[in-house]
């Protein structure tokens, strides 16, 4: 065990963050810390690092173990370049290398015992240098920088010129290269594109130390962690498995807790009714019996009502009118900025009811495409055509559709003047803005709060073609799942940009990958995209060096690609296995129902019903036989 948190409690005024919370992290374990926004995740990490003190309880780090911490926002300063900053993590190797060079110079002019002493020292230092992987430290630094999305042209950039996101990536690179025994990461996938996140997944899976991660990226958590620790309403619960396993167990536990509470409430009400009835008889014996029951009722340890998915958004997306079958047609679209061509001569179509995810690395032009479609930017060439009765609803990740000088109430009432004050308040309450919150200025809201206002306006628009730019940014996991449900129930058409792979898997029926200045179309979800990516990219979007071996490709990159393909195949088999098992369960239940029906007197004497049920049973039996064979094949 490398880290133990015992009976931690923390409050800020009347707000309880943690109450008697305990958990531990084993050596080499990869664990996740999850909870809604404001639940106290970052507070817990800061208590572990010692930045905050708990009100009670203690944090114990194993002796002689190093702890590293990546906060959400980093202030990386100094006069170094990006490369120099990360190279500084290997200062002990740089010093060792200088020592070796110094020994080499001294050995040239030495002889006798002096030479022998220098040679012995050189042998020891050289051996230590080799054991510390000293001959590969430069390639290790370069590999981490490229993995985190920095090109070689970025290596010489001074730290002072970097954006906030770039500084966070530099800080993450430092922590990975320092390789502490336990690494605390607060939202490490923020500011990373899909390729960099996939690289980080592979890096952490083989990381020799323990990792404790706060993240809303469910796909990332599914890949990396084997334990999930959840903070909810001040309590802390530990679940074994990845995020999907946690979600299943959490739903089962919540259901069991609610049923137990409901049963107890039912029993309490029953006992209270009996007591009231006994007292109404107004006789000594009945009153004594009522008092006896009251004592028993008073001794019951009452269960708390399970915390509902309280503080949840309520989203209902429904178009006002149905559009034509052809929703969008894009032809020959080209856009470039000075010194950079984003995309050239791209074209695609979207039909009614499709849910299309537009993906690609940072800076490829995804948001630019959405802005062109919404008339916010002109294309250099090409055109697009909207279909009959198409009405666009646009969600902008930068929330330019909001007016910073207005209050929330004004933002809604000015856009939808026919709504009454009660309707506006009810709408805002559905997005967690209640009471005086409705009079807050838009400019004073956090990114997540502005996102909720934008979603509220989107819901009111009743548009039949939603264009969304990073709709899950700043949303916690519970809110993401609510949005997923709303989009999956939406009967209109959807085009969105997202880096959230789990979200894409849950909502997309088709993927457009913007790569090498063109679009590659995938008819399927994100797992299908992963499976076909290399083949489809080589065929439809070859890079400038297509046909030539990639001189910078390393064995680790090839291994990562193989792992990625194997993982995609495994997930596809697992999903198919689950579908087969579910169908088998349904058919076995139906087979039993048919047998019970055939045994009923009113059925077995009715030739027409017996014939129909017997035919259905034969069909069920045949399908079950095929499914059993399929299950065996998949299980192997």
Specify the higher pLDDT residue, 581 or 186.
186
Specify the higher pLDDT residue, 304 or 545.
304
Classify 354 as helix, strand or coil: coil
The interaxial angle of helices 555-598 and 526-540, nearest 10 deg, is 130
Contact (Cβ atoms closer than 8 angstroms) between residue 185 and residue 213: yes
Average pLDDT over residues 146-157: 90
Q: What pLDDT score does 548 carry?
A: 43
Q: Is the pLDDT of residue 633 over 80?
A: no
Q: What pLDDT score does 561 carry?
A: 54
Distance (Å, whole) CA 381 – CA 234? 56
pLDDT in tens, 163-179: 878 888 999 999 999 99
Contact (Cβ atoms closer than 8 angstroms) between residue 358 and residue 512: yes
Q: What pLDDT score does 613 carry?
A: 85
Q: Is the pLDDT of residue 545 over 70?
A: no
Classify 379 as helix, strand or coil: coil
Taking the mean position of all CA atoms in its chain, how far away is CA 134?
Answer: 36
Local confidence band at 14 (pLDDT 50, 70, 90 cut-offs): confident
Q: What pLDDT score does 606 carry?
A: 79
Q: In what order do the strands lie in the sheet with 392-395?
A: 392-395, 465-469, 493-497, 355-359, 510-515, 518-522
* Beta-ladder partners of 341: 336
Local confidence band at 557 (pLDDT 50, 70, 90 cut-offs): very low
Least confident of 466-480, 516-530, 533-547: 533-547
Q: How many CB atoms lie within 10 A of CB 36?
A: 21
Average pLDDT over residues 329-338: 93
pLDDT in tens, 400-458: 778 889 999 999 999 889 889 988 888 888 888 888 888 999 888 877 788 888 888 88
Alpha helices by DSSP H, listed for 339-446, are 366-373, 408-415, 421-430
Q: What pLDDT score does 356 carry?
A: 96
Q: Is the pLDDT of residue 283 over 60?
A: yes
Q: How many CB atoms lie within 10 A of CB 630?
A: 16
Q: Is the pLDDT of residue 603 over 70?
A: yes
Q: Is the pLDDT of residue 31 over 90?
A: yes
Local confidence band at 495 (pLDDT 50, 70, 90 cut-offs): very high
User: What are 408's two structure tokens?
Assistant: 């929330």
Average pLDDT over residues 183-208: 90
Mean pLDDT of the chain: 87
Counting residues of the chain whose pLDDT is more than 70, the rounded percentage is 94
Residue 429, phi then psi, degrees to nearest 5: -65, -35
Q: How many CB atoms lie within 10 A of CB 128?
A: 14
Q: What pLDDT score does 326 carry?
A: 94
Distance (Å, whole) CA 239 – CA 252? 12
Task: Say how many Å lie between the first and final Cα of the chain, rounded.
Answer: 35
Q: Is the pLDDT of residue 48 over 90?
A: yes
pLDDT in tens, 254-279: 888 889 889 999 999 988 988 888 88
């Amino acid at each position: 065990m490398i880290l133990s948190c015992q009976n931690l409690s923390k409050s800020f005024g009347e707000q309880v963050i943690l109450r008697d919370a305990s958990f531990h992290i084993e050596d080499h374990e990869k664990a996740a810390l999850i909870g809604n926004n404001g639940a106290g995740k970052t507070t817990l990490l800061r208590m572990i690092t010692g930045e905050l003190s708990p009100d009670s309880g203690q944090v114990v780090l194993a002796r002689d173990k190093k702890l590293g911490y990546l906060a959400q926002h980093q202030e990386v300063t100094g006069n170094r370049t990006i490369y120099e900053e990360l190279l500084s993590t290997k200062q002990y190797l740089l010093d060792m290398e200088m020592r070796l060079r110094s020994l080499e110079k001294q050995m040239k002019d030495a002889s006798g015992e002096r030479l022998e002493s220098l040679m012995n020292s050189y042998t020891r230092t050289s051996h230590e240098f080799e054991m510390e992987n000293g001959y590969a430290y430069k390639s290790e630094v370069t590999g981490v920088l490229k993995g985190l999305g920095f090109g070689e042209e970025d290596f010489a950039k001074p730290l002072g010129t970097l954006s906030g996101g770039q500084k966070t990536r530099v800080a993450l690179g430092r922590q990975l290269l320092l390789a502490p025994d336990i690494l605390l990461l607060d939202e490490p996938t923020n500011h990373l594109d899909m390729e960099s996140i996939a690289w980080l997944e592979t890096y952490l899976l083989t990381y020799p130390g323990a990792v404790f991660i706060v993240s809303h990226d469910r796909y990332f958590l599914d890949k990396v962690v084997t334990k999930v620790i959840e903070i909810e309403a001040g309590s802390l619960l530990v679940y074994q498995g990845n995020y999907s396993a946690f979600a299943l167990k959490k739903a089962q536990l919540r259901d069991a807790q609610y049923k137990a509470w409901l049963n107890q409430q039912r029993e309490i009400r029953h006992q209270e009714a009996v007591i009231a009835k006994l007292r109404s008889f107004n006789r000594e014996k009945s009153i004594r019996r009522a008092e006896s029951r009251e004592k028993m009722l008073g001794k019951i340890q009452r269960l708390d009502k399970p915390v509902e998915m309280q503080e949840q958004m309520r989203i209902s997306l429904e178009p006002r009118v149905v559009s034509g079958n052809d929703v969008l047609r894009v032809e020959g679209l080209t856009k470039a900025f000075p010194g950079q061509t984003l995309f050239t001569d791209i074209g695609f179509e979207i039909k009614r009811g499709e849910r299309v995810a537009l993906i690609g690395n940072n800076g490829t032009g995804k948001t630019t495409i959405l802005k062109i479609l919404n008339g916010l930017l002109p294309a250099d060439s090409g055109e697009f055509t909207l279909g009959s009765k198409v009405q666009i609803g646009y969600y902008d990740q930068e929330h330019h559709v909001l007016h910073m000088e207005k209050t929330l109430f004004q933002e809604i009432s000015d856009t939808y003047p026919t709504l009454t004050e009660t309707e506006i308040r009810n709408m805002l309450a559905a997005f967690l803005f209640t009471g005086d919150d409705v009079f807050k200025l838009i400019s004073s809201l956090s990114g997540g709060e502005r996102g909720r206002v934008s979603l509220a306006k989107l819901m009111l628009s009743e548009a039949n073609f939603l264009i969304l730019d990073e709709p899950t940014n700043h949303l916690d996991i519970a809110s993401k799942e609510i949005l997923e449900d709303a989009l999956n129930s939406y009967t209109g058409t959807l085009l969105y940009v997202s880096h959230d792979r789990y979200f894409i898997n849950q909502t997309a029926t088709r993927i457009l990958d913007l790569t090498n200045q063109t679009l590659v179309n995938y008819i399927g979800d994100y797992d299908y995209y992963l499976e076909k990516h290399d083949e489809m990219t080589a065929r439809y979007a070859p890079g400038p060096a297509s046909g030539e071996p990639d001189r910078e490709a390393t064995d680790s990159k090839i291994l990562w690609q193989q792992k990625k393909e194997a993982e995609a195949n495994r997930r596809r088999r697992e999903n198919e296995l689950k579908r087969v098992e579910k169908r088998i369960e349904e058919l076995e239940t139906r087979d039993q129902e048919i047998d019970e029906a055939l045994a009923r007197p009113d059925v077995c004497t009715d030739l027409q019903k017996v014939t129909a049920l017997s035919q259905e049973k034969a069909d069920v039996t045949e399908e079950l036989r095929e499914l059993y064979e399929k299950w065996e094949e998949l299980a192997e």
